[in-house]
Structure 1
Amino acid sequence: MTETVARTGPVPAATFTELYGGEPHGVWAAPGRVNLIGEYTDFNDGFVMPLALPHTARAAVSPRTDGVLRLHSSDVPGGVVSLRVEELAPRSGHGWAAYPAGVVWALREAGHPVTGADIALTSTVPTGAGLSSSAALETVTALALNDLFQLGL
């Protein structure tokens, strides 16, 4: 579905600069989606027709080399969530931050050299509406890290 994902302008860049004290290396976007037909049938060889939405998750991101992952969402109350990449593990909590942190964990488990990042997120994908808001957060994180760490995925 990468053909429906596009880079975007400096939407969360100002927030990134305010939070982390520098300009992001880039800003990425990934759409929400809905299955027009075939909800939960794709993994059973059924027909599906997913549709990308105009609602997007956006991430301003810069890589880090110190093993720290810092995450902030403009859409969730609270400050920056700071995690150590070597301590990431499935089901370790962290609320909404578990979605992008899970991407970092999965990339590292697959042997990719992700050494940390500063990420400022914002999204217009409604949460809890079946429009894949969490998948959009994960996708935008994976796209950014793929580019920044030159993973070749």
Structure 2
Amino acid sequence: MLTRKWRTGAAWIVVGFTVVWDAFLVMWYAFGLTRGDLSWGLLLFPLLHVAFGLVLTYASLGMLFNSTVIEVSADLLRVATGPIPFHREVRVSPSEIREVRYHEHASRGYSSSYDLRAVLNSGEEKNLLRGLGEYSEVLFYTSELRSSLGLSGTTKKSEASAS
């Protein structure tokens, strides 16, 4: 079993931004309520900001508390995220897996993120992990999964983009 925690240095930046964003919105509404003349404009204007704040808060909680667990047994490869629901659980029979590869998402030459994928006997690529930030991390997970699944050969990069 492999466990990957989501809490990174970048998570703390997002959490800090979220706290400031949400605090501003709380102050906005508190100001309007304490004045006693809460107009419709004052109430409705920040609704898109509130929606964005809710998304930020959910993402921040996921970054702080979630982890991804990869379990390999004779009859099942399972990738699950929790405790806060974020991604669907992935379940694949090891006998259906031909290869484990990674796919790089380059970001204008500044940084990259990586997905870990299982190539099935049918040729379909199934995402196992998304958004790995370090190349060494994707190589580690690829190597560990290949070893656990009894796959031979070397680590390969996916050529075609698949979801």
TM range (shorter): under 0.3
Comparing both chains, which one has the higher relative contact order based on Cα–Cα distances under 8 Å and sequence gaps of 6 or more?
1
- TM-score normalized by the length of structure 1: 0.25
Q: Which has the larger radius of gyration?
A: 2
Q: Specify which structure has the higher proportion of helix.
A: 2
The TM-score normalised by the length of structure 2 is 0.24
